[in-house]
């Protein structure tokens, strides 16, 4: 397995993996269906070029994409200034429980340290009755900090 920062030509792969994630989330990812994918692809390419957004790809031995993690830079006084936010992480079902998610998180942490961020945040999906996702992050050292709310515009 290999973890790498996605290049511009890999943005359709990133978008496809995120679509799989949101389909798996069901109701929680429903607004994705109404998003203009062409515009989103352009926005994604621009975001990666800005270096305030990083998309990481996990590849198996054959080079096939098996996982993705997106990481964006944010700023808040409570966080001591700039900090990182893991926005999406997805590992294809056949590749789960093989260290892919852990490897993606380790690379995100390395980027956070390189950028001297004080913290790295992530949200676990609310549709996780067994807390499997939250437990995964907690095993890697993340601590619960509260719920997130949204306003769709």
Block means of pLDDT (10 residues each) for the chain, length 153 residues?
92 91 78 78 82 94 97 92 95 96 97 94 79 88 82 69
Structure tokens at 40: 């989103």
SS3 64: coil
- The answer to the question of residue 40 being in a domain is yes
37: nearest Cα among 64, 18, 58: 18
Residue 23's pLDDT is what?
Answer: 86
Interstrand relation of 65-76 and 81-91 (parallel, antiparallel or unpaired): antiparallel
Q: Where are the beta strands (DSSP E) in 8-118?
A: 53-59, 65-76, 81-91
In a domain, 10, yes or no: yes
Residues 6+ apart with CB under 8 A from 51: none
CA–CA gap between residue 59 and residue 77 (Å, rounded): 36
| CATH code assigned at 60 | 3.40.630.30
| Range of the structural domain that residue 103 is part of | 2-139
Residue 45 to residue 17: CA distance in whole angstroms: 15
Is residue 45 included in any domain, yes or no?
yes
| Amino acid 28: pLDDT | 65
Cut 0.75: pTM above it:
yes
Residue 151 placed within a domain:
no
**121, β-bridge pairs:** 85
Q: How many domains does one find in the chain?
A: 1
Instruction: Read off the tokens for 74.
Output: 């944010």
Question: Alpha carbon 149 to chain centroid distance?
Answer: 18
Residue 125 lies inside a defined structural domain of this protein: yes
């Amino acid at each position: 397995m290999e973890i790498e920062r996605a290049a511009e030509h890999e943005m359709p792969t990133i978008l496809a993996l995120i679509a799989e994630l949101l389909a798996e989330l069901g109701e929680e990812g429903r607004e994705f269906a109404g998003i203009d994918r062409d515009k989103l692809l352009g926005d994604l390419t621009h975001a990666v070029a800005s270096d305030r957004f990083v998309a990481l790809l996990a590849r198996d031995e054959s080079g096939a994409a098996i996982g993705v993690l997106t990481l964006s830079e944010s700023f808040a006084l409570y966080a001591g200034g700039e900090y990182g936010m893991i926005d999406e992480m997805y590992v294809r079902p056949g590749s789960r429980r093989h260290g892919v998610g852990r490897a993606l998180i380790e690379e995100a942490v390395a980027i956070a340290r390189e950028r001297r961020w004080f913290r790295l945040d992530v949200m676990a999906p609310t549709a996780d009755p067994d807390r499997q996702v939250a437990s995964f992050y907690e095993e890697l050292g993340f601590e619960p900090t509260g719920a997130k709310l949204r306003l769709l515009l």
